[in-house]
A and B are shown apart, each in its own frame.
Chain A
Amino acid sequence: MNQRLRGWAVLGLLALVLGAAGIAGAQPIHIEYWHINSATFGGAAVKEAVERFQELNPDIRVTDRFQQGDYGGLLNNLQAALAAGNPPAVAQIGYNYRLFAFEQVPHVPFESFRDSDPGYDEFINSFVDGVLGLGQDADGVQRAIPLAVSVPLLYYNADLFRQAGLDPDNPPRTWEEVRQAARQIRERTGQYGIGIQITSANNWVPQSMVESNGGWLLDPEGRVAIDSPEVIEVYKFWQDLAQRDRTLPVVTDAEQEQAFVAGRLGMYIKTSAILQNFAQQANFELRTAPFPTWGDKPRRVAAGGNALFITARDPGQQRAAYEFIKFLTSKEGQTIWVKGTGYLPIVQGVEDDPRYLADFFAENPLMRAAVAQLPDAVPWAPFPGPRGFEAETTLAEAREAILNGADVEATLRETAAILRRLLGQ
């Protein structure tokens, strides 16, 4: 009896010691990364980045979790997870939600790590000019770090172009040219001519369209401006494409995408971020062109994409999240990211460096259209305040009504009134 007892005691002590050693030693920290990159939209790049990060940081384990419903859906789920007390460590917040997130989503400001990380300043200076502003609040506090930037592109099906008698080397440059080309495609091939991204409720492409015409959805002071003549003109044009020309299908965004990939839609205005995906899926010759302009007016495109927020509660996780974010926006991380998507890199020196993206950009002329537009990028307009979501949806509904034939001016005026009420103006 005594022997056995002693035996157990020794084993127990051993276990205790080993256990303590185990705990004291590198117990990996688990963090969750929430993103909107499905398997067909950069999911593989996410996994690759995670793997590489884990190689470099064996004491951190990252689980990536795809969230459906685009940035809005992710934000919804994030709010629910915060309410439940188990938020992820890192979350992608669309640029248009950044103000909302600054105020309403509990997070650890990125710059709070400045004092504890000697490499902080070097890291901050590695970014391309102006991009960091996407993660700063009104007081200039660096709360989040932008992951990447996308711009809307004009994708087109070169094969359909040829069939319709159009020259794929000379894509339409203005909206008027787009309209003509779309008509031609419709007449000569019977397929739809042009599609425009309308993902969920957000108004990313409409903002680009409107600001390129000199108008605003929300003017620089944040006031609702959708009932101005410039905006009305844009929506009228859009309506004509749908109703008069019948070259634009009035369907969901997913259906437009399906049609384009299946060769039933000639041109498609969509984010540059889906470039690699389209390139893989399309079995026709895919080409890209810059976002169309309104005659001679300067092009303005809203910078799409997201910023990474640290939403972890536990200090260990917060630190791990900080490191993870630094990796994703390092040269290596950006290289993986850009190659797998079509997002534009936001750190300096990657494009020309043969270790990183020089070859990629050389071999991928399709990316050029996107890169060429970076100078024209403007911030993605957020709908601020607690009723911001509703406001966004309301504007999207106005667009639906217009595309289905409603009177453009009346609809926009009505909607402007509703938006002003929702946004407290």
Chain B
Amino acid sequence: MRNAEPVQEGWSLETGPLSRAAWFVFLLVLALLALFPLWWMFTTALKPASQIFAGDLSLFPRGATLDHFRRLMGTFNLARIMGNTLVVAAVTTGFQLITSLLAAYGFARYRFPLREPLFYLCLGTMFIPIQVIMVSNYLLVSDWGLLNTYAAAILPQAASAFGVFFLRQQLRLFPQSLLDAARIDGAGELTVLFRIVLPTIRPFITALGILFFINAWNQYVWPVLVLTDPDMMTLPIALREFMHSEAGHDWGLMMAASTMGVLPALIAFLLAQRMIMSTFASTGLKG
């Protein structure tokens, strides 16, 4: 598997100027289609309310106003919701990283009966759609009285089969001799793992962490079932509730809310896009 280095530039091909121009226009159109909805969201969030429904196609708002954002802060419990999302995303990521690292180390470094079958069972969970098990999980979580708690949103996602898979690949490449040397020196297993192995594979952990965090932040399907209390909602769910109730009329407000939802991910992306993109890319590469 390719490690988390920046996506390679690879080679390029030559072709006639006309052909190249055509390809360029093609890509340009796609790029505009990709960007346009985001742009439309921004401009609507900044447009004065009277212009929004007025059938106005201008790409730039005239007399931009921060009014919708102001009202957003007032109406919608934005701080609480962002807080919830942050807690759920961060804790989920933490759990996923830890359990993946431990399990990957276990699978890579030790031999024990049933190791391969257990590994494939773990892997197998990646191919089970969440909706197949969500009703049962819902009943389980509610039986435990955990509905509308952070635990309900976090626990079922606390282990990541992909994380185990990904890290095991990396750990297998780790030179055995280094580990043996450490063990001989009397180091305990966990010390070996954290003092020696971890620093070396840190870029992979970081990459994985980013992936996990973004996915946890954007999660909708599971949290929407278990976080129905308005105080506990995360951003994607709050958007839906917002849409169906309070701000149904108010597209300026809705777009301001969406902008807030998009902003953290957008900023993170722009700062670290190479790393983020190479992480996503490595989810698919064989090798």
Interface of A toward B, CB cutoff 8 Å: 38-41, 65-69, 77, 80-81, 83-86, 254, 257-259, 261-264, 281
The 8 Å CB contact of A262, one of B53, B147, B246, is: B53
CB-CB under 8 A from B249, the residues of chain A are: 40, 254, 257-258, 261-262, 281
CB-CB under 8 A from B139, the residues of chain A are: 83
The 8 Å CB contact of B142, one of A66, A68, A69, A80, is: A80
CB-CB under 8 A from A83, the residues of chain B are: 139, 142
CB-CB under 8 A from A39, the residues of chain B are: 75, 245-246
Could you tell me if A69 and B244 are in contact, using CB atoms closer than 8 angstroms?
yes
| B156 at interface, CB cutoff 8 A | no
Between B53, B139, B143, the greatest number of chain A beta carbons within 10 A of the residue's beta carbon is seen for B53
B78 to chain A, nearest CB (A): 14
Q: How far is the CA of A258 from the CA of B53 in the complex (A)?
A: 9
Q: How far is the CA of A261 from the CA of B253 in the complex (A)?
A: 15
| B124 at interface, CB cutoff 8 A | no
| B67 at interface, CB cutoff 8 A | no
Could you tell me if A85 and B228 are in contact, using CB atoms closer than 8 angstroms?
no
Q: 3 nearest interchain CB pairs? A: A84-B142, A38-B245, A262-B53
Within 8 A of A (CB), among B224-242: 228-230, 241
CB-CB under 8 A from A257, the residues of chain B are: 248-249
B222 to chain A, nearest CB (A): 15
Between B142, B228, B229, B245, the greatest number of chain A beta carbons within 10 A of the residue's beta carbon is seen for B245
B179 to chain A, nearest CB (A): 47
CB-CB under 8 A from B245, the residues of chain A are: 38-41, 66, 68
CB-CB under 8 A from A66, the residues of chain B are: 230, 245
Could you tell me if B145 and A68 are in contact, using CB atoms closer than 8 angstroms?
no
Could you tell me if B145 and A85 are in contact, using CB atoms closer than 8 angstroms?
yes
Between A80, A81, A281, the greatest number of chain B beta carbons within 10 A of the residue's beta carbon is seen for A80
Q: How far is the CA of A264 from the CA of B251 in the complex (A)?
A: 15
A7 to chain B, nearest CB (A): 39
Known interface pairs A38-B245, A39-B75, A254-B248; 6 further A-B residue pairs with C-beta atoms within 8 A, sorted by A's residue number: A40-B248, A66-B245, A69-B244, A81-B147, A83-B142, A254-B249
Tell me the total A-B contact number using a CB cutoff of 8 A.
52
Between A65, A68, A77, A281, the greatest number of chain B beta carbons within 10 A of the residue's beta carbon is seen for A68
CB-CB under 8 A from A65, the residues of chain B are: 229-230
Chain B minimum-CB-distance residue to A37? B245
CB-CB under 8 A from A281, the residues of chain B are: 249
B270 to chain A, nearest CB (A): 33
Within 8 A of A (CB), among B119-176: 138-139, 142-143, 145, 147
CB-CB under 8 A from B251, the residues of chain A are: 258
CB-CB under 8 A from A67, the residues of chain B are: 228
Q: Can you offer 11 A-B residue contacts whose CB atoms are under 8 A?
A: A38-B246, A39-B246, A40-B249, A80-B228, A81-B147, A84-B143, A86-B145, A254-B248, A258-B248, A263-B53, A264-B53
Could you tell me if A84 and B145 are in contact, using CB atoms closer than 8 angstroms?
yes
Q: How far is the CA of A68 from the CA of B224 in the complex (A)?
A: 12
CB-CB under 8 A from B230, the residues of chain A are: 65-66
A276 to chain B, nearest CB (A): 15
Within 8 A of A (CB), among B66-88: 75
Could you tell me if A77 and B53 are in contact, using CB atoms closer than 8 angstroms?
no
Chain B minimum-CB-distance residue to A73? B244
Between A40, A67, A81, A84, the greatest number of chain B beta carbons within 10 A of the residue's beta carbon is seen for A84
Q: How far is the CA of A380 from the CA of B26 in the complex (A)?
A: 57
CB-CB under 8 A from B75, the residues of chain A are: 39
B55 to chain A, nearest CB (A): 9
B46 to chain A, nearest CB (A): 18
Chain A minimum-CB-distance residue to B247? A40
Q: How far is the CA of A257 from the CA of B75 in the complex (A)?
A: 20
Q: How far is the CA of A131 from the CA of B265 in the complex (A)?
A: 53
Q: How far is the CA of A316 from the CA of B58 in the complex (A)?
A: 60
Interface string of B243-287 (1 = CB under 8 A from A): 111101101000000000000000000000000000000000000
A283 to chain B, nearest CB (A): 9
Chain B minimum-CB-distance residue to A69? B244
Q: How far is the CA of A77 from the CA of B75 in the complex (A)?
A: 24
Q: How far is the CA of A84 from the CA of B243 in the complex (A)?
A: 27
A116 to chain B, nearest CB (A): 30
Q: How far is the CA of A353 from the CA of B138 in the complex (A)?
A: 51
